[in-house]
Amino acid sequence: MKKRMLGQGLEVSALGLGCMSVSGAYGPKLSQEDCDALLRGAFDRGITFFDTAEIYGPYVGEEMVGHALAPIRDGVVVATKFGFRAGGKVERGNLFPGFDSRPEHIREVCDQSLARLGMDCIDLLYQHRVDPAVPVEDVAGTVGDLIREGKVRYFGMSEAPADLIRRAHAVHPVAALQSEYSLWSRDVEDTVLPTLRELGIGFVPFSPLGRGFLTGGVQPGSLTGDDWRSNMPRFKGEAGEHNFRLVQALSELAAQKGVTAGQLALSWVLHQGNDIVPIPGTRKLERLEENAAAADIVLTDDDLRQIDEAVPSGSFEGSRYP
């Protein structure tokens, strides 16, 4: 798989792997054996960029990822995240338990994440969500100190607006911003993406397949209660039915090109710029292979025009979170 560069020199595979689902967000968590097979299978297919967070599980996600990647640690880039209250409870429909990006807490989380991952350095450490109670300059300064101490290599932010990205970057260079971006979530195109490109910051889209909806494999109202997407407005009711019709239009275009709807949606994201590295998640090797193949799809200007006509920006209904 081809490589892409994030920020100030962090080279990763053009496609990464989001690892939230291995710890149980989309149904029961995987066994460690299955997690090992999935992540090492990704590596065998050229994927070298793996994304997790302390809150996935909570906490067990980092342990599972660390175990799976231990034999291939020298060949991979591992990202994790801080920014939530220690011991906070994750309830159905409420993924995030409360913010905490105090400098002392960042240091605590960094050490704990290193221990859970079984690593001596975190390649990319993100602030998972902006904490309105802590100046972003303090966050950037603390991560900068961790970088100078050798515990972290690069600093990232997630779901941050353009003004805060600028403020953080002025204190310590931001290598990457991670935010939701796909055919059904294009808000970052207005101010965030232009800011990233002005400052030389890479972009890591999470949920580039619309949490699986853009594959056409998730029917509105079909999700069970142990899948946290079942509580999301875009997946149910009239919004879900409307959105599924748009996905059917995407599927028709994909069939004409001889690819799946998911591959077409993922290829669209990859074609938005060489500074973009999407991290689709999956729990299955066959889906991983399908996603990896999307990195080799070439879309013409006419292909991109047809996609934009079939699923225009802003055409999907429903909010991203409950």
- DSSP for 150-181 reads TSEEEEEEES--HHHHHHHHHHS-EEEEEEE-
Question: Into how many domains does the chain fold?
Answer: 1
Domain limits for position 28: 3-210+272-297
Q: List the structure tokens of 52.
A: 């997790």
Q: Do 142 and 107 meet the contact criterion of CB atoms below 8 Å apart?
A: yes
Q: Do 240 and 210 meet the contact criterion of CB atoms below 8 Å apart?
A: no
What's the CA angle centered on 150, arms 193 and 51, to 5 degrees? Answer: 45
Burial of 133 (0-12, 13-18, 19+ CB in 10 A): exposed
CATH for 128: 3.20.20.100
Burial of 98 (0-12, 13-18, 19+ CB in 10 A): middle
Helix, strand, coil share of the chain (percent; to 5) = 45, 15, 40
Q: Average pLDDT, stretch 142-151?
A: 98
pLDDT of amino acid 93 = 42
- Give the global pTM: 0.94
Give the max Cα distance, the chain. 54
Residue 30 lies in a domain: yes
Residue 215 lies in a domain: no
**pLDDT category, 321, cuts 50, 70, 90?**
confident
From the candidates 56, 126, 154, 181, which is the catalytic residue? 56
* Residue the block writes with tokens 């029917």: 219
**pLDDT category, 90, cuts 50, 70, 90?**
very low
Residue 238 lies in a domain: no
Q: Average pLDDT, stretch 161-172?
A: 98
Catalytic status, residue 56 = yes
